[in-house]
Amino acid sequence: MSSLLDALLLGAGYNAALVGIGAGLLGFAAGAAGTFLFLRKRALVSDAVAHATLPGVGLAFIAMVALGGDGRNLVGLLAGSALSAWAGLLLVEWITRRTRLSEDAAIGAVLSVFFGAGVVLLTVIQTMSAGRQAGLEGFLLGSTAGMLFQDAVVIAVGGTLAVLATWVLRRPMTLVAFDADYAAACGYDVRRIDLAMMALVMAVTVIGLKLVGLILIVAMLIIPPVTARFWTERSGRVIWIAGALGGTAGYVGAAISASAPAMPTGPIIVLGAAALFLLSLFLAPARGVAAALLRRRRFQRRVHRRQGLLALARSERVHDPLTLKVLRAEGLIRPDGVATDAGRAQAARVARDERRWDVAREIHQDAGLTGRYDGLTPIEQVFTPDEIAAFDRVIGGPSPVGGPV
């Protein structure tokens, strides 16, 4: 446990601190950039982009070795991966636009074919004399063990640039995500904005290759925005909450991974993000599962209370156990099922409300108002006092309710 604290406070060594800061920044950038992808309902495009990086990594390695350089230069490899990811992205776009295949088919085709090509290139590299210790497999699942200061700088600078780009582009991207047709009518070039969004996603993917690996980087782009969506209904906030969640998952994940053996960084970060997602799914206010259950329960009790009181008003016995429970808890009936004075008063009120609604629906012209009758809303919330007085004149004088007559 103390080693985890050390790692969290950047005290677990130089390399671990580098990885932690890098992962935090990357997580923030990925969460923020992924938000638009999620809002545009194109989350899985990032999967195609991520898998499409592999052939670029292989080609860059081969090219750098052929030119007599060190094939493992990270900047070169990332540049190669960006190129092939961009090619994959354009292909997805081309297939969806030019043929009748849907986007998901295009995504699946591009990701599997590019990944296959990447694997072919990896086997070619393994047979090259310079390729035996290339370590390119590290890009599949990420590897942080031998991270250099230079690598961390690449991640930090790239992550910062990605966050800045998100900030600059947030308005057009939000507009396109919510209503692409309206954006087009406003004179925005929807296709260019979409491509810019994808470029952002690609940048995050490429930066994250070394740390999280190409199979799991999608998780950093998808899970934090989905999680953030539980906590707010405002798109502006989703971006920053997703960024914060992603950053937390990245930083804490890297710390956990540094503090214990056999804890691969990428999967730990993803599982951290998944844990935050599960928490939010159940506990978030308004959109969470627990909140929905509570809402349902409250609604159910309101219905039972109302129907129970109406039954009392008609001098009927209440049999339903939940209704009995609700009425007893409020002291409206005695344990033997007979209405108390308070119960009779409430029953009279509810019966009068129901009667007024009946009249209102008969004589009032505005269906927009009478349509709000749902058997629960008190009539005072919909009509003005003088309108209600008019209904009462139709109803006539009071009549006794409740109890034996």
Partner 1 sequence: MGNEFVQFSLTPMLIGTLAAVACALPGNFLLLRRQALIGDAISHVVLPGIVVAFLLTGAVAAIPMLLGAAGAAVVAVIVIEAIKRLGRIEPGAAMGVTFTSLFAGGVLLLEQSDTSSVHLDVEHALMGNLESLIWFKARGWGSLLDPVALAALPDELGRIAAVCALVIALTVLFWRPLKISTFDEGFAQAQGLPVGLIGFGLVGVAAVAAVAAFDAVGSIIVIAMFICPPAAARLMTNRLERQVGWSVVFAVASAVLGYVLAGYGPLWFGGQNAVSAAGMIAVVSGLILGLACLVGPHRARVGARGEAA
Binding residues for partner 1 (CB under 8 A): 38, 41-44, 46-47, 94-95, 98-102, 104-105, 107-109, 111-120, 122-124, 127, 137, 140-141, 215-216, 218-219, 222-223, 225-226, 229-230, 262-264, 266-268, 270-271, 273-274, 277, 281, 287, 289
Amino acid, single-letter form, for residue 234: R
Q: What is the DSSP letter of 316?
A: P
CA-nearest of 204, 166, 200 to 25 is: 204
For partner 1, the closer of residues 180 and 310 by Cβ is: 180
For partner 1, the closer of residues 249 and 309 by Cβ is: 249
Between CA 15 and CA 390 the distance in angstroms is 80
How far apart are CB 386 and partner 1 at their closest, in Å? 42
Between CA 109 and CA 55 the distance in angstroms is 15
Cα torsion for 99, 105, 111, 117, to the nearest 10°?
Answer: -60
How far apart are CB 28 and partner 1 at their closest, in Å? 18
Q: What is the DSSP letter of 165?
A: H
CB atoms within 10 A of CB 245: 25
For partner 1, the closer of residues 47 and 353 by Cβ is: 47
Q: How many helices (H) and strands (E) does the chain have?
A: 18, 0
82 strand-pairing partners: none
For partner 1, the closer of residues 23 and 95 by Cβ is: 95
How far apart are CB 284 and partner 1 at their closest, in Å? 9
How far apart are CB 43 and partner 1 at their closest, in Å? 4
How far apart are CB 143 and partner 1 at their closest, in Å? 12
Residue 262 burial by CB count (10 A; 0-12/13-18/19+): exposed, middle or buried? exposed
How far apart are CB 80 and partner 1 at their closest, in Å? 17
For partner 1, the closer of residues 262 and 405 by Cβ is: 262
- The pair of structure tokens assigned to 376 is 């629960």
How far apart are CB 111 and partner 1 at their closest, in Å? 7
Could you tell me if 103 and 37 are in contact, meaning their C-beta atoms sit under 8 angstroms apart?
no
How far apart are CB 387 and partner 1 at their closest, in Å? 38
Could you tell me if 208 and 217 are in contact, meaning their C-beta atoms sit under 8 angstroms apart?
yes
Helix (H, G, I), strand (E, B), or coil: what is residue 25?
helix
How far apart are CB 307 and partner 1 at their closest, in Å? 29
For partner 1, the closer of residues 102 and 150 by Cβ is: 102
Helix (H) / strand (E) element for 111: namely helix 103-127
DSSP 262-279: T--HHHHHHHHHHHHHHH
For partner 1, the closer of residues 243 and 402 by Cβ is: 243
Between CA 227 and CA 280 the distance in angstroms is 6
For partner 1, the closer of residues 274 and 324 by Cβ is: 274
For partner 1, the closer of residues 216 and 348 by Cβ is: 216
